[in-house]
Every structure is written in structure tokens, then in C-alpha cells.
Structure 1
């Protein structure tokens, strides 16, 4: 149930056309396939490629490299629409956009000209290899190591919880090139066909079963030295900057998922008859829906406000953490309440709300757990941030 008034975006012909295209693709291509792919655990690679060919995989990046050059506020709106129909696809777009960030923002002009157009053109899909088995939130102490050997880095280690593992065309590999701590980490851009990069068996996840997540073993993978993105030992700052943007993407996905759950619950509550009238007319149900609608509107406004700061070139790390925290908590509550509105029907797979609830949980974990978001926010408060 999306309207221009709810989006807060400027009403331009270009934005209107983008949103119309997104809604059309979401309704015709995503919604009819979601349940079947999720049940079978099959990643919709060709569908994501279709989105890429339609220009949706490079939206916030410069037109000169094949992107669309649109504002982050509009890009997040696209994610929201996609997520309201199928979260796994919206997450795929968000993760790919995250994976393009290091090269787009920290690569040299020559690196961007060489590799970025293919990434933004729709044929390639990216992955972001930061987390490790022993250190998810503690990224500054990662142990994957890269040693310069002639004209290439030999990379050895294990990455964990990598979305698109096994289906990605390229990986951003964050690895240790210097001493301990955040100051010794670098970012390497590696092709997926590198024989030293070995995706492992997929994790058996609670939700988002169509989205492949797995460990990736790097067994002496040789990555050409000219694929170092940004300064040597300067990768941690790149990783954190990318995550600020990525958190906004996940927040927008959360808003979209919550909206999809609310729309379904409203439709059900209007049609379901008990005691001679629609159950939406009973306060016990109607108030749940009213609260959900209000919470979604607040989350959407918070996300758009944070994106507007980013678009204006202002600091937005605090706002990104707040957006991710609030929007994903809202998604968890709204999807849980949607199951409650449907009652017993909400607990069976005949209706999608049980899937929405399972999917919402992961949004409180990825791109930094919500406990990490609270830590980030509290540290800003300790410094005197308002």
C-alpha cells in the first residue's frame, strides 16, 4: 500500500517513472515467484539479472560508470517496494549495492573505469566478505591474511555468513595485510572464479531460504596487487563506511517487509467474518493494525531522514544506526502481529505472514546486530551527539 505521499520523495517525472517500473517488476516478476522459490530454497539469479538489466543494480552510483545517479532516498524507496513483495530479492539488491561501495567510493579512476561498469550493468552480482567464524561483530580483529607475493596477494582464511556465496561474480575480501587491530586491514576485489576461493555448503537458514549464505574458504587465493581497493591497511574505514550505507539498505528492506505484512493482514481482516462482521471492526484487531501502520510510518520517516543526510553530504552514521535499529525492530513486531491477526491461519504456510515473521528476524542481525547499533548510538551520545 504505497503512495507518493508516503514516500516523501520529490515528485519528478524521473522518480515517478522509476517507482512505476519498480512496482511493475515487483508485481509481475517477484510476487508470483516468491513462495515457490523460498520453499525450494532456490536463488532467483535470472530474476536478479533482469532487475540489473532494468537498471536497478546500480541506482545510487554515477551515470558515467553505468549507474543511475539517483538520490539515496529514491534508491531506498525502490528497496522498500521490492521487499514488500519479496525480501530475498530486495536483500540481493542491497547486498550488491553494498559490494559496489568500496570500488565506487575508494577505487582509483582507472580501477573504476575498468571494473565498475560491469558491476553496475546488471550482469554481475557482488558479495561482501567481512565476517569470520570467530568474529562477526568484532571485525577489527579479523584473521584472514593477505601476503604480497610478487605481483599478487596470497590470501588465506575463512569468511562466514557471506550472502551470495557460490552465486556471486566478485567478492570484496577484507583481510589482514599489516599488524593487529583495525589499522592492519585492507580490501581486495577478487573474482569469484579464482581457484583459491572456495564457497562451502549453504547454511540452512530459518528464513530467506532463497538467499544463499555460506562460509567462503580462501586457500592461498592469488589476487592481483592492482586489485587492492583504497590504501594499504586502510580497509577498515572502507568497511565501516560501506556498512553505514548498507544499514540504510537493510532498514528500507525492513520497512518494505513490514508494509507487505500489514497489507496482507489488513486484507485478511477485512474479509474474515466473525460474529457477523469483519474482524477488522473489532478493537483487538483494529488497534494492532493501527499501531503497525503508525510504526511503519515512523520507521519510513526515520530511514528517509537518514538518507537525506547522506544525500546532502552530512554525517549520517548515527542516523543510519538508529534507522537500522528502529526499522528492523518494527519489522519484527509488525510481522509477529500480522501472524496474530490471522490467528491459526497465520501459523500455516498457506499464508505468507509466517514467512515474513521468519524473515524479519534476520534483519535484526545482518549489517551489525541491533545490539551493535545500540552500542554505536550510545557511543555517539557519550560524545555529546544529540
Structure 2
């Protein structure tokens, strides 16, 4: 009779109701108090399970980021994805309002604790890269383009922070942070890529053979920058840009980081690319026509740009992996929602175990990528190999999970309103920027080069 009674309770085909005596939820509750504390658990979703494992300050960060993404980004996501590409330097009123709202919420200036920035002091017991990973995942889960519009700001500010130059931090970072917290739509941008060099700006061997495109020529009291940068996220709307240029007559080893302000004579955004994904954020081509940059706008000193560039990438590649996890989670959420709402032959799709198997695989791949990111980002000193592994592993996972979601949705996946095709387009871009995944794989080997050479030269290993 018990079996018959419990079989009538809500359950999925092929599964028992959670209150059935043979369900683990019910069975574990019959154990004694001590073993129950070891093995019994509540039926909550995976996001809640993982959030509860975080320290309290990071739990709060993750919950606040999800709430902000749902309230501020969700209503704009599909609309801004369909909007025509903006003219260089133009921000729609909607996006201006979003940037202002994000700044007032403290999500643009939280790289430093209050009062220098907006981050809660308690969070800085934990690495800044882990904090950024938690935040960008929640934003990208809702919209990749809006996430990039807001998060490229961190990338642009990072060289100034990493320089350790207190004067530069005081003059360039803190005033913008305060303006952002007041609701002013001000952003940073990071400018390394040039028309003739994508990966050459991120790989030492390629840089050794590359002829720099943006060159700084000495002038009285400063430098004159000439050349072009391309694919710069938010470069046309940023107020402050960290621009990397080689010194005249020298190679990439002379790369120097210059702070360029919007409105400097000779600097102008030339055009914005027509993009496949992350369309709410621009990818801009920038022209530097004899732009004068004073000496006090150099960050970290002459010829320190290459070190600042590589250090910035080591920090940023894990958050790129995290935003890819957000895409994977977004695709998984869409698939679960579709499977529970859509009926086939009078049954919800979720009742079919073939569908359950695919959903479980999507959930497993997403959770595995997230675990890699969280474990890696918990280190205070990001290693290049670890950062690159996070980047290519998570971004490849995101594309694979998004593809699985489209397979599950079938022809419904092609409908913009469902969001699956948008997630796929957004996720595909992550395999290319912040160093292509091929370059990131080579970066892993570069980190292990000395150990590999030592092993190769040891006769005992032959």
C-alpha cells in the first residue's frame, strides 16, 4: 500500500517521488542524528548548493550580482542584441542609464575596497580575481553583450592597478571610481590589439618578430602616439584608455602603457565592427594621429608595458573563463526551462529520460568548468598556465553546452526570443578574444618550458 500511495505523488518518469522510502532524501532522514549530519541534504538547486560553499562575503557578492543581473540586465538583453550597431562614440540612453545604475551599485569600481573603491572590505580577504569571476559569471548568464560593456571597464583599469604606481592610481583610477559611484557613465578600455597583430600582442615568440603598429615618438614633455588599434571592447565610449605602444625605433620589448583620455587631439574612434555576438558592447578601431601624451600619463614607467600586458592577461583570463561558465549556465537554464514547459505526445519533455540525460550532461560540464575556475581563482598569484587552462577549457565547454541546448530545443533554438541562439553567438566569441584558445594552449607549454627542456636534456629520460 505504501508503494502504491507514494507512486501517486509527483515524480518524473523513471524516478521515485522524493518522499518515497527508497528516495535518498527520505532514506537519509531515517538515519541517526550523527550519520544524518554527514549524509543528509536538502533538495535545493545546484546554484544554491555551490553558493553555500562560499565564504559569507562572497556568498553575498554572488547573490547581489545575480539579483542585479536579473533586474538591470534581463529586461534589456534581447532588445540590445537586436539593436543596430551604434556609430562610434554613441551610447543609447538605455545603455547610459545601465552604466550609471551599475556604477551607483558599486559594480564598476569594486576592484579596490572602500573608501578607495566600492568593494566591501571583508571581500578582500579573498583574491580580487575570484571576486571578479563570481560577478562576471552572473552578468554573462543573463547577457554577454551587456556584461562585456560593463566588465571591459575592469580590464582597462587593471594595468594602472597592477603598476603599483600610487600616483597613477590616485590620478587616474580614484577620480573615475568616484564619478562611477555618483552615477556618471564613465568607463575604462584596454587597447593592445593592432591590425597586423592579434595573438602577437599576447605571445612572446610572435611579439619578437612583430613590427609594432602603434609607435610613441619622443616630444617635449611627453610622447606622440601614432597608429591604430582594433577590436577594442568599448574603446569608442571609454573616457580613459590604457594604450600600449612601442617606442620609436624599438620593438615590442619597449612596449609602454600610456593613459589616453577621450578628447585628446588626434585620437578618434574610426569605426565599430559588425559583430556576431556580444552585440551590446562595441569592438572599435581607434586611430592615434600624432596624439600628445604627457610624461605623467605613462603607467609603470617606460618599457614596462609588456610586463603589465602579460600580468593583466594572467588576471583576466580566469574571469573570461568565468563569463564562459555564465554562458554555459544560461544555456543550461534555457534548456531546463524548455524541457519543463514543452510537451510532446501529451508529456513534458522533462519526462523523457533521453532529455534528462542531456540535461544532466550540460549541468555536469557547467559545474565542472565552474569548479576549475573557483579553485584556480582562489590563488593570490595567478599563474599563466593555470589562467590559460581556465580560459580555453571553460570557453570550449561553453560553446559545447550552448550547442547541446540548441540541439535539445530543435527548431525553437533558432528563435531569438528563446535566447539559445544568442547564447551560442555570445559564447563563440570567447574562444577568440583574450588570446585565441590555440594561443592559450601554447601559453601553458611556455610556462612549463624550463622543466620540459630539463627533462629533454636528461639522458635518464631517453
**Could you state the TM-score of these two structures normalised by the residue count of structure 2?**
0.78
Note the alpha carbon deviations across 1:110-155, whole angstroms, 9 max, x for none: 2211221133332420111100010010013332101120112110
1:191 aligns with 2:248: no
Structure 2 partner of 1:37: 80
Note the alpha carbon deviations across 1:79-136, whole angstroms, 9 max, x for none: 1111111112222333111111111121521221122113333242011110001001
Aligned partners of 1:4 and 1:226: how far apart in 2?
48
Q: CA deviation at 1:58?
A: 2.3
Instruction: Give the secondary-structure state (helix, strand or coil) at the position aligned to 1:318.
Output: helix
Structure 2 partner of 1:169: 239
Instruction: Give the secondary-structure state (helix, strand or coil) at the position aligned to 2:290.
Output: strand
1:299 aligns with 2:343: no
Structure 1 partner of 2:177: 120
Structure 2 partner of 1:343: 410
Structure 1 partner of 2:421: 354
Q: CA deviation at 1:161?
A: 0.5
Structure 2 spans left out of the alignment, 5+ residues: 1-44, 202-206, 453-462
**Could you state the TM-score of these two structures normalised by the residue count of structure 1?**
0.93
1:55 aligns with 2:116: no
CA contact (8 A) 1:94 1:250 kept: no
1:207 aligns with 2:273: no
Aligned partners of 2:299 and 2:192: how far apart in 1?
14
Q: CA deviation at 1:57?
A: 1.2
Structure 2 partner of 1:267: 337
Matches within 5 A, 1:71-220: 71=126, 72-121=129-178, 122=180, 123=184, 124-139=186-201, 140=207, 141=210, 142-177=212-247, 179-220=249-290
Aligned partners of 2:46 and 2:176: how far apart in 1?
30
Instruction: Give the secondary-structure state (helix, strand or coil) at the position aligned to 1:194.
Output: coil
Structure 1 spans left out of the alignment, 5+ residues: none
Q: CA deviation at 1:344?
A: 0.4
Q: CA deviation at 1:172?
A: 0.8
Aligned CA RMSD, in angstroms, stands at 1.9
Q: CA deviation at 1:165?
A: 2.2
1:3 aligns with 2:47: yes
Q: Which runs of at least 4 in structure 1 moved beyond 4 Å after TM superposition?
A: none
Whichever of the two has the greater Rg, that structure is 2
Q: Return 366-375 or 87-96, whichever deviates more.
A: 87-96
Cα 1:298–1:179, aligned 2, differ >3 Å: closer, same or farther?
A: farther
Q: CA deviation at 1:2?
A: 6.4
Structure 2 partner of 1:370: 437
Cα 1:5–1:73, aligned 2, differ >3 Å: closer, same or farther?
A: farther
Structure 2 partner of 1:26: 69
Aligned partners of 1:152 and 1:380: how far apart in 2?
36
Instruction: Give the secondary-structure state (helix, strand or coil) at the position aligned to 1:303.
Output: helix
CA contact (8 A) 2:236 2:282 kept: yes
Aligned partners of 1:382 and 1:15: how far apart in 2?
36
1:246 aligns with 2:321: no
1:384 aligns with 2:451: yes
Aligned partners of 1:335 and 1:131: how far apart in 2?
28
